[in-house]
A and B are shown apart, each in its own frame.
Chain A
Amino acid sequence: DQQVKQNSPSLSVQEGRISILNCDYTNSMFDYFLWYKKYPAEGPTFLISISSIKDKNEDGRFTVFLNKSAKHLSLHIVPSQPGDSAVYFCAGRVEYGNKLVFGAGTILRVKS
């Protein structure tokens, strides 16, 4: 039962260009969506979130877009930097209980 899907296992982008990471979900009970970044041998670190009643949230170089009708969200990183190279996880927060359901992750490689 994959409630959150990240269909692209990896993405390679040139430094300075835009990175777009995508995520689809099936559970309508998510009230928040979150993006986490993970470096090897470290725990995931929180990046940005969006409420299910919003369609956009921006924080510096990171913007998350939510399309509820399509049950799709995306993370835009502009401009991409080599330090952004990591695994990015999309997660939905179940309204009751704060349980986070994660996607499988997308490996982002930013080439200099």
Chain B
Amino acid sequence: DSGVTQTPKHLITATGQRVTLRCSPRSGDLSVYWYQQSLDQGLQFLIQYYNGEERAKGNILERFSAQQFPDLHSELNLSSLELGDSALYFCASSDRGGSKTEAFFGQGTRLTVV
């Protein structure tokens, strides 16, 4: 158990809809990252938040947005969904301080757009 919790585990929705994916980081971690893994592809970095502020942005579509709340949990909002948005979405957290460099991943949310 990495200590990172993602909900829901599975989500099936129709094209054009909007969904929200939720992530609770490990206790004390200030950074939250979102990654997308499409079929047979690697992990694509979407966005990072650090202590409530956006820190880095990757290949995140304009239809997608994220935020990190004061309690450090994060939400990834996906709107106007298309079939190609079907993927595994992972959240990771890090930055408790100290010399640790790795990020810890949640189990992911499998999104299926039909």
Listed stretches B13-21, B62-70, B105-113; interface member: B105-113
Chain B contact residues: helix, strand, loop or mixed: strand
Q: Which residue of A lies closest to B9 (CB)?
A: A41
Given A93-B101, A97-B48, A99-B56, A44:B33 Cβ within 8 A: no
The reply to whether A99 and B48 contact each other, CB–CB distance below 8 Å, is yes
- Interchain nearest-CB distance for A36 vs B (Å): 8
What residues of B have a CB within 8 angstroms of the CB of A99 in the complex?
33, 45, 48, 55-56, 58
Partner of A44, one of B58, B94, B105: B105
The reply to whether A100 and B33 contact each other, CB–CB distance below 8 Å, is yes
Q: Mark contacts of A32-51 with chain B using CB atoms, 8 A cut-off: 1 yes-contact digit, 0 otherwise.
A: 10101000011111100100
Q: What bracket does the count of chain A residues touching chain B fall in?
A: 20 to 34
- Interchain nearest-CB distance for A9 vs B (Å): 9
Q: Which residue of A lies closest to B94 (CB)?
A: A98
The reply to whether B50 and A102 contact each other, CB–CB distance below 8 Å, is no
Interface members, chain A 97-112 (any B CB < 8 Å): 97-105
The reply to whether B103 and A98 contact each other, CB–CB distance below 8 Å, is yes
Interface members, chain A 1-53 (any B CB < 8 Å): 6, 32, 34, 36, 41-46, 49
Provide the bound-state CA to CA distance between A88 and B100, in Å. 20
Given A97-B48, A99-B56, A89:B43 Cβ within 8 A: yes
Residue A78 at the B interface, CB < 8 A?
no
Partner of B43, one of A42, A93, A102: A102
Supplied contacts A43-B2, A104-B41, 12 more A-B pairs, CB within 8 Å: A32-B101, A34-B102, A43-B4, A45-B2, A98-B50, A98-B94, A98-B103, A99-B45, A99-B48, A99-B55, A102-B42, A102-B45
